Amino acid sequence: MAVTDPTATPLAAPARPDKGRSLWTDARRRFFRNKAAVVALVVLVLIALFAFFGGLVARYDRETVDFTLMGVNARNGGPSLATGHYFGVDDSGRDLYARTVQGTRLSLMIGLVGSLVAVLVGTLYGAISGYIGGRTDGVMMRIVDILLSIPFMFVLILMLVMFGRSLLMLFIGIGLTSWLGMARIARGQTLSIKNKEFVEAAIATGVKRSAIILRHVVPNLLGVVIVYATLLIPDMIIYESFISFLGLGVQEPNTSLGALISQGARQILSGGEAAWQLWFPLGFFVATLFAFYFVGDGLRDALDPKDR
Amino acid sequence: MITYILRRLLVAIPTILILIVLSFMLMFAAPGGPFNSDKPLPAAVLANIEARYGLDQPYVVQIFNYVKNIVLHFDFGPSFKYRDQTVSGLIAQGFPVTLTYGSWAFAVSTVLGVAIGTVAAIRHNTWLDYLAVGSAIGASVLPNFVLSPILVLVFTIWLGWLPAGGWSNGGWEVVVMPVIALATTYVASIARIMRSSMLEVLGSGFIRTARAKGLPMSRIIWRHAMKPAMLPVLSYLGPAFVGMITGSVVIDIYFSTGGIGQYFVNSALNRDYAVIMGVTILVGVLTILFNLLVDILYAWIDPKIRY
């Protein structure tokens, strides 16, 4: 386990206290041995840099229509260094590079927020449910089961329609659903943790129940939670992109990868002359998802080796 | 077994009711009624319209009537925007279409997924296995809305083999692309689940016994390994069903197939609450019933399950 024995006497170099190999150092070593995961991590960092600093090299902003390309978008609006539209322009002549930067940023943020809510709410919910057990556990998990059996995409669209399509609503809607799976996983892990000796010891020394959950159970859930949270990010990105693809998600002038893919896809339907409008956002979308899957997979091997 | 089914039904019915009441509450909480427009209607006219749709009644009465009409007459009320259409009428128009390509996609992903997963497990650590795992990972980043435009680009624009959309009474040419777009990610997921569960089953004691008896491999797979290995796939079919019914919205929009998804999105853009709620509730009920079916099937197949 994560506990290193502090009384173990180091054999050599007594001047420098020997650092035990904690679970985390061990995991880091295992992660960096996994080449696919490391490459994916590098790709992910590059995408994040692009999303947050790519705007600095854009020659246009995401809203300005380039009137010099009026009417000749499909022929002359393609990606080119000469015009400064590195990724070409979109249907209405706006710079696709600037829009892709912003879309990628929004998609990443959606993924992170959804995942963060899952970590906070789901972990606590699952840990409490699993630790208390009994009838409380039954009721709490039945609620999760019921919520999971509702097709949330439809309910979320219902909410977006009724309360207006705003970014906030999108974040709320995605946060509402993302924690359910996490709650189940956290509960399952808690069930095995709560019978461990260190929890017994905590109970014996009279630690309060809430403190046991927060200080003893939750930290030991972290490995699994991190793995699952990473794997949840691409799901959340897909989720948001799906809604934006339908035109029900982010609103102009904001955009997301899903909204951009949607525009590119419509371009394909009308003949596909301006196929770059599909390829650039789609490339970033696919690369982001791939990177998250591989990083998540690497983390799973590193943090949760038994689950193979 | 009967008591198990009854008990599951007892959970399913309140879930459906919760869904209906929840969506109704959302509608009441929403700012602005469905008939608010930029040019406000005279109060008397508005009152008349609201009476026509039953919106002048107390909330509880409205919910009660709504549920009663659904249960007794399968009537979701009139559409708020298409004046001469009822929600049930719209659903009746769109649903057969969705059902057609949806069930194809469902069948294709189950059969293909199980087949690929099984082959990959039997040929564990050969190039076939690697190919299957690799394509499964590749397919998992191609959700329907990414795959659809790529398919149109390849099959319609480059190759010219298939029409880009439409329905024309469901001939095979219009069904192919929707089915591929909808099924691909699920083929991949099912193949992955099947592969790992088959590997686990093939490593267990009773398979070793069967091999020791000298049974041929094909017989071992079909008679002994298939059933237990299918169980995890079976429990994945519930989420897969939800995913496909959700994905059908993209299909209907992109391929103009005319299924319920098209009405759903158009109503969402028009704020036609009646249609959105009708479709949401219908999909919810279908999902819950499907999950119930899967659970019963599971309990029936798996002798270890306690009910």
Return the minimum-mean-pLDDT range out of A213-222, B51-60, B129-138, B243-252: B51-60
For residue B302, count CB atoms less than 10 angstroms from its CB and return exposed for 0-12, middle for 13-18, buried for 19 or more: middle
Q: Which residues 239-278 on chain A approach chain B with CB closer than 8 angstroms?
A: 241-242, 245-248, 258, 261-262, 264-265, 268-269, 271-272, 275, 278
Q: Using a CB-CB distance cutoff of 8 angstroms, which residues of chain A are in contact with residue B152?
A: 265, 268-269, 272
- The predicted model gives A268-294 an average pLDDT of 85
Of A146, A154, A245, the CB nearest to B250: A245
pLDDT value at B27 more than 90 = no
The residue ranking higher by pLDDT, A129 or B2, is A129
Q: Mean pLDDT across the stretch B86-113?
A: 88
Q: Does the beta carbon of A87 lie under 8 angstroms from any beta carbon of chain B?
A: no
The tokens of A244 are what?
Answer: 């934006």
Query: Cα–Cα distance between A14 and A210 in angstroms, integer?
Result: 40
Among all chains, which residue has been given the structure tokens 């300005």? A64
User: A161 and B142 in contact by Cβ < 8 A?
Assistant: no
* Chain A residues touching B184 at Cβ < 8 A: none
Please check the confidence at residue B94 and state whether its pLDDT lies above 80: yes
Average pLDDT over residues A157-169: 79
Residue contact A161–B271, C-beta within 8 A? yes
Model pLDDT, residue B240 = 85
Nearest to A155 among B141, B269, B280 (CB): B280
Res. B38 pLDDT band, cuts 50 70 90: low
Q: Which residues of chain A make contact with B26, given a CB cutoff of 8 A?
A: 158-159, 162
Q: Which CATH superfamily is domain B88-268 in?
A: MetI-like (1.10.3720.10)
What is the domain partition of chain A in residue ranges?
A: 33-60+85-302
Q: Report, as an integer, the average pLDDT of A113-129.
A: 90
Most confident of A74-83, A245-254, B296-305: A245-254
pLDDT at A273 exceeding the cut of 80: no
Nearest in space to B259 (alpha carbons), one of B116, B19, B99, B123:
B99
pLDDT recorded at residue A71 = 64
> Quick one: fold of A33-60+85-302?
MetI-like fold (1.10.3720)
Residues 18-57 of chain B with CB under 8 A from chain A are: 18-19, 22-23, 26-27, 29-31
CB pairs under 8 A between A and B: 118
B interface test, pick of A158, A165, A308 with most B CB neighbours within 10 Å: A158
Cα separation, A231 vs A234, in Å, equals: 6
- Chain center to CA of B87: 20
A200, burial (CB in 10 Å: exposed 0-12, middle 13-18, buried 19+): exposed
Q: In chain A, what residues touch B137 (CB-CB under 8 Å)?
A: 293
* pLDDT tens track for A171-200: 888 888 888 888 988 998 898 888 888 888
Which of A158, A164, A245 minimises the CB distance to B280? Answer: A158
Please give the DSSP secondary-structure letter assigned to residue A22.
Answer: -
Indicate the range of A155-169, B179-193, B208-222 predicted with least confidence. Answer: A155-169
The pLDDT tens digits of the residues spanning A14-36 come to 455 566 667 778 888 888 888 88
The pLDDT value recorded for residue A306 is 58
Question: Which of A151, A164, A246 minimises the CB distance to B253?
Answer: A246
pLDDT digits (tens, 9 = 90+) for B100-119: 888 899 999 999 999 999 99
Residue by residue, DSSP assigns B243-307 as: HHHHHHHHHHHHH---SHHHHHHHHHHHT-HHHHHHHHHHHHHHHHHHHHHHHHHHHHH-TT---
Say yes or no to pLDDT of A160 above 70.
yes
Give percent of chain A with pLDDT exceeding 70.
87
Residues near B46 by beta carbon (within 8 Å), at least 6 away in sequence: B35
For residue A4, pLDDT over 60 is answered with no
Q: Measured between CA atoms, how close is A10 to chain B, in angstroms?
A: 43
Res A12 pLDDT > 70 = no
- ipTM of this predicted structure: 0.81
pLDDT of amino acid A9: 47
Among residues 96-125 of chain B, which lie with CB inside 8 Å of chain A? none
Q: Is A67 on the interface with B (CB under 8 A)?
A: no
pTM value?
0.83
Domain boundaries, chain B: 88-268
Selected residue with higher pLDDT from B182 and A59: B182
Closest partner residue to B23 (CB to CB) among A158, A258, A285 is: A158
